[in-house]
Structure 1
Amino acid sequence: MSILLIEAFYGGSHKQLVDLLQEEIEDCILFTLPAKKWHWRARTAALYFMQTVPSSAHYRILFASSVLNLAELIALRPDLGKLKKVFYFHENQLIYPVQKCQERDFQYGYNQILSCLVADVVVFNSAYNMESFLTSIGKFMKLIPDYRPKCLEQLIRPKCQVLYFPVKFPDVRRFLPEHKLALIENTVGAKGNGNPYRLMSLPFQEKNERTMDLTKNRDSAMRSVDCETQTECCTSSQERLHDLLTATREPNESTSSKSTSHCQGEDKPRETCRVCRTPGGLKCQQKPLHIVWPHRWIEAVYCGCYPLCPKALVYPEMFPAEYLYSTPEQLFKRLQNFCKRPDIVRKHLYKGEMAQFSWAALCGKFRSLLTTEPKEDL
């Protein structure tokens, strides 16, 4: 294997990234540690991988996340120092949130600075992550009481680049109202090889989804997402599910002629809402909005959520200004308005750009990052 992937905290987005790289890029071999005891992983993972990663003349590239102390690993394994070393930042320890500055352990940020110095390429998942790290190095190093090193930012910055975290977006078109399908088509239409939905499932779907019968799969998924409050005009959940599946299988046919409303009489056609694709017509607007606190924004918006984020940190880089708030009072007013007019959210079509975060758009950049000509001394 020519690409050595090392992940000292194999969970969450860290796991998602290296799994995707191993799945989509040829000649990768992965070594990991479980995603627990983060502080001990940052302190001792290099020693563990020094003993675990076998020597090989086939390695050409080393890819590791910023949890690993890369400087220690290279010192312990000089053979790995000859490789092209790519160091990826999911987050940086110079500004990672702590309640008080005194609570920040100097060692973790120091480890990341040393790792950047020995890396050949330093990659950040956002411009905010990169700039906040680089511009904090000088202030951070002033914590050293004397004999402080100088010009570290200038040494590290030329190695740095931004490469957004890649998301292989799942196919959620069957769950979305018709007016939001355009965003999905634009996102998955980005240039890339293969089916953008391949090998990707929603969190609530079974792992063996690919081998399941399509009808059973839809039935299970719809039961999972059908959590809206019942209104007086709603029919039974089985009838609602049947109508929703019918609308999915026959998008060009009107369902109004195929179903009737119990509250309006058996002989009258039941109106199907164009916004949420559920029977009951305008009654769906009486249902309460659901507020979610996602750990993965770039996925939540893709699945139809309306983003409402602080005008700080990385959010201005990701979302247009209309989705940002500056004060708690602004947030309260926005939520209050949405509660009074839920149709504002339900009918809204996201105005930002999602394709730039898709694996289809980013796969070429990651492939280039993980390719190199062999060095003469290998």
Structure 2
Amino acid sequence: MRILLLSAYDAASHKRWRNALVAHLDEHQWSVETMAPRHFAWRSRGNSLHFGLARRELLAQPYDALITTSMTDLASLRGFVPELSRLPTAVYFHENQFEYPLRSGQRANLDQQLTSLYTALCGDRLLFNSAFNRDSFLKGAGLLLAAMPDHVPPGIVNRLRERAQLLAVPLEAKCYAARGLCHGPLSIVWNHRWEYDKAPERFFEALFQLSEHGYAFDLHVVGQSFRQVPPVFEQARERLASHIRTWGFLASVEAYRELLSTADLVVSTALHEFQGLAVLEAVAAGCRPLVPDRLAYREFIPEPWRYGSYPDEPAREVAALVEALRGFCNDPESLRRSAPVNVEALSWNALAPGYRALLAQLVRGG
């Protein structure tokens, strides 16, 4: 089968997914076109120009199926390359444009939301990495259409719901590394993007309080950072210096895997998470998770490992996180003896049959 795969904003998790997809379903012939993950607003509107004009010859080749990420402006692209409209098409939603937490004074981008809605309407199958992602997209689409003044055709959300299915981003085999030795103080990992939607202020405030009360812990702050880093990171580097063992992005995958295999606890305070790959890969390596009781975490992380969620009450949420962390700091050995969280169901071995079945059904028109 000849498959065209388009990734219009090839962020790290998108790249990871499509590379593994091609590698694990190597019985098919893949043609992959991507665009670098920068200039978000321009990518969301300009990707069809690049794909449709600069790459038209490749896109117009005979294919059996099209897989595209939801960032692709598929409705416009089909106008530039009409041949694509004849292909059975699956749209993969790593995230959706309706559920991003907005900063103070920031307004939702109507244009980006409509573009993703039009792309979804072009898809024969809509794939979501979590029920939270699917449900928030459908709810957001419904609210957006209900706010329009007139000429909204009926049944759009139901039409999208009928095409939607869940198919998570799988974890590679290398994520399931042999567990290393853990000893000494509680070892905490923060392995998320250094951005406001991960609510780092809440995480560090909890650690500030623990440190001030004399609790022992080792801290590893890794993850990807960008040009604009929330100020709390620099504050934390100074105030938690005696606890810090790792600081900054680990370019070596091997070093990162080794860290996860020897750390005790991976912590999240995220306000925005559609699957939570950073937490899940740490869990696969043997870390115990500590995450807020919200977002996609409810689907993948058992309730005992979720603390109280108060997204609109930061102080109350920090208090809940401190309470959980205090117990682990007092008795890290008890945490280490606890049963690990099983995420084998998210491995490629477990999920590859679902991807194969999707492609077969897509081409058959089922």
**Alpha-carbon displacement from aligned partner over 1:35-82 (angstroms, at most 9, x marks no partner):** 111211111101111121425553011101111111111122110110
CA contact (8 A) 1:165 1:357 kept: yes
Q: Which amino acid aligns with 1:73?
A: L
When normalised by structure 1's length, the TM-score is: 0.67
Write the distance in 2 (CA, Å) between the matches of 1:146 and 1:102: 26
Instruction: Tell me the CA shift for residue 117 of structure 1.
Output: 1.0
2:113 is aligned with 1:109: yes
SS in 1 for 2:126: strand
The whole-number CA distance in structure 2 between the counterparts of 1:128 and 1:104 is 19
Report the Cα distance in structure 2 between the residues aligned to 1:222 and 1:150, rounded to whole angstroms: 49
Q: 1:173 to 1:203 in 2, by over 3 A?
A: farther
Identity fraction in percent: 30
Report the alpha carbon displacement of residue 176 of structure 1 after superposing the two structures with TM.
Answer: 5.3
Q: CA deviation at 1:87?
A: 0.2
Structure 1 equivalent of residue 252 of structure 2: 204
Matched, 1:360 2:349: yes
Equivalent residue for 1:85, pick from 61, 86, 89: 89
The answer on whether the counterparts of 1:94 and 1:137 sit within 8 Å (CA) in structure 2 is yes
- Closer, same or farther: CA 292–95 of 1 in aligned 2, 3 Å: closer
Q: Which residue of 1 aligns with 2:80?
A: 76
CA offsets per residue over residues 209-228 of structure 1, 9 Å max, x none?
Answer: xxxxxxxxxxxx6997499x
| CA drift at 1:6 | 0.5
Partner of 1:169: 173
Deviations 1:207-254 (A, max 9, x none): xxxxxxxxxxxxxx6997499xxxxxxxxxxxxxxxxxxxxxxxxxxx
Alignment of 1:154-303 (within 5 A): 154-170=158-174, 172-173=177-178, 175=180, 204-205=252-253, 225=259, 296-303=278-285
Counterpart for residue 27 of structure 1 = 29
CA RMSD of aligned residues (A): 3.0
**How far has the Cα of 1:370 moved from its partner?**
2.4
Q: For structure 2, which runs of at least 5 residues remain unmatched after alignment?
A: 183-249, 269-275, 310-316
Does the 8 Å CA contact 1:204/1:224 hold for their aligned counterparts?
no
Is this contact kept in 2: 1:134–1:157, CA < 8 A? yes
Q: Indicate the SS of the match to 1:14.
A: helix
SS in 2 for 1:296: helix
- Which of these two proteins has the greater Rg computed from alpha carbons? 1
Distance 1:223 1:360, change over 3 A: closer
Alignment of 1:304-319 (within 5 A): 304-319=286-301
CA contact (8 A) 2:291 2:307 kept: yes
* C-alpha distance in structure 1 between counterparts of 2:65 and 2:257, whole Å: 45
Three-state SS of the structure 1 residue aligned to 2:143 is: helix
Aligned residues: 278
| 223 and 319 in structure 1: CA distance in 2 versus 1, 3 angstrom threshold | closer
Residue 50 (structure 2) aligns with: 48
Structure 1 gaps of 5+ residues are 178-201, 207-220, 228-275, 277-287
In the TM superposition, what whole-angstrom CA distance separates every residue of 1:328-368 from its partner, at most 9, and x where no partner exists?
23221111111111112222222x43111111101111122
Q: Deviations over 1:134-166 (max 9, x none)?
A: 122221223334444432111111111000111
Distance 1:290 1:155 in 2: 42
1:13 maps to what in 2?
Answer: 13
Give me the whole-angstrom Cα distance separating, in 2, the residues matched to 1:160 and 1:349: 34
C-alpha separation in 2, matches of 1:120 and 1:101: 37
8 Å CA contact 1:125, 1:162 repeated in 2: yes
Contact 2:173 2:347 in 1 (8 A): yes
Moved more, 69-78 or 291-300: 291-300
Q: 1:78 to 1:43 in 2, by over 3 A?
A: same
Counterpart of 1:136 in 2: which secondary structure? helix
Give the equivalent residue in structure 2 for 1:260.
none
TM-score (norm 2): 0.69
Give the 3-state SS of the residue equivalent to 2:288 in structure 1. Answer: coil
